[in-house]
Amino acid sequence: MAHYRKLNGKTTEQRLEEELQRLKASRESVTVAEFARRAMVSYATLTHQYKEVADEVRRLRDREGPSPKRSPVTWSRSRHPDLEEATTLIQQLRQQVSDLTRGLATAHAERDQWQRRAFHLGQVQDHNERLRGVIAALLDHLVCEADRTMMQHWMDEIDREPQP
């Protein structure tokens, strides 16, 4: 079954052949879906109507050999010469993260303590202002009372003095 839709003046077969030649020349490893996108064909069209091209793309993708089934973490250290260095680096980075986390927790605790102190200081300052007001009022009252008492005392003295 042929698909004669033309894009950019090329039929589907021409676009597939051109992209397949580019893929072979570049020795790139791409998935069938990526190949279909590059050739401007749907994945379904490629796998159902051009099955031989899709199989060729899979063969080219797997030419390097199948990808390992095991996770790289389970590979032996001889397969990864940089694994020891990476392990050391990961341990150092984890230690730094741990130290920074502890430092951050300490900084948060100190900040909270300073905030509590600042709040308490504000309360103490308000209390001091109220006491100053009370003391000022008492002093005014005492001064007025002292002035009155002193005036009364002078008046009494004046009354006691003999008149010439």
- What is residue 162's predicted lDDT score, i.e. its pLDDT? 61
pLDDT tens for 26-58 read 888 888 999 999 888 999 989 999 999 999 988
7 in helix, strand or coil? Answer: strand
- What is residue 74's predicted lDDT score, i.e. its pLDDT? 65
* Contact status, residue 54 vs residue 46, Cβ threshold 8 Å: yes
Q: Where do the H-state alpha helices sit in 6-164?
A: 12-26, 32-38, 43-49, 51-61, 83-160
pTM for this entry: 0.38
Highest mean pLDDT among 10-19, 73-82, 132-141: 10-19
Instruction: Round to whole Å and give the CA distance between 156 and 149.
Output: 10
Q: What percent of the chain has pLDDT over 70?
A: 80
- Packing angle, helices 51-61 and 12-26, rounded to 10: 10
pLDDT tens for 90-132 read 999 999 999 999 999 999 999 999 999 999 999 999 998 898 8
- The C-alpha R_g of the chain, in whole angstroms, comes to 47
Task: Please tell me the total number of residues recorded for the chain in this structure.
Answer: 164
Q: What percent of the chain has pLDDT over 90?
A: 32
Q: 10 pairs with which residues across the strands?
A: 7
Give, in degrees to the nearest 5, the angle at Cα 113 between 110 and 119. Answer: 140
Distance between start and end Cα atoms, the chain? 149
Q: What is the mean pLDDT of the chain?
A: 82
